[in-house]
Amino acid sequence: MVLAYDVTDEKTFQNVEEWMGCIAENTQEFQIIQKVILANKTDLQKDLHRVTPEEGQKLASKHGIDFFQVSAKEGLGISEAFLHLTKLVLRAQSLK
C-alpha cells in the first residue's frame, strides 16, 4: 500500500493519518499489509514545503512504516520506493 502526501500541502499530510485509521477500521489485515509513506513534490523549492522530512519520518516511524521522499514529476526516489515495497511484499509472501 502506498500512502502519499504533497509536501506543499499540510492537509494532504493529515489525510495520511486519517486514511490509515479508516483502512484499519475496515480491513482486518491492515497490520500485515505492507505499506510505505511517500512525501511527494520534494523537487519544489524548500520555501514552498509545509511538511518537513522530519514530520514525515516521525509519522512513518509512529506506525512502523518506511518513508521515502520522492518527486513524481522528476522521477526522483520513485523506483527506490516501489522496489522497496515490492521486496517487502515478496518477503511477507515467503513467510506465509
**What is d(CA 86, CA 45) in angstroms, rounded to the nearest whole number?**
30
What are the pLDDT digits (tens) for 22-32? 999 999 888 88
Residue 29 has what pLDDT? 86
According to CATH, the topology of domain 2-94 is: Rossmann fold (3.40.50)
Strands of the 2-6 sheet, one edge to the other? 2-6, 36-40, 66-69
Distance, first Cα to last Cα, the chain: 18
- Geometric angle at alpha carbon 78, from 74 and 84, rounded to 5°: 165
Residue 28 has what pLDDT? 87
**What is d(CA 43, CA 74) in angstroms, rounded to the nearest whole number?**
7
Phi then psi for 42, rounded to 5 degrees? Answer: -70, -10
Could you give the 3-state DSSP secondary structure of residue 45?
coil
Instruction: Flag whether pLDDT at 1 surpasses 80.
Output: yes
Question: Would you place residue 94 in the very low, low, confident or very high pLDDT band (cuts 50, 70, 90)?
Answer: confident
SS3 content of the chain, % helix, strand, coil (to 5): 50, 15, 30
**Where exactly are the structural domains of the chain?**
2-94
What are the pLDDT digits (tens) for 42-87? 999 999 999 999 999 999 999 999 999 999 999 999 999 999 999 9
Instruction: Flag whether pLDDT at 93 surpasses 90.
Output: no
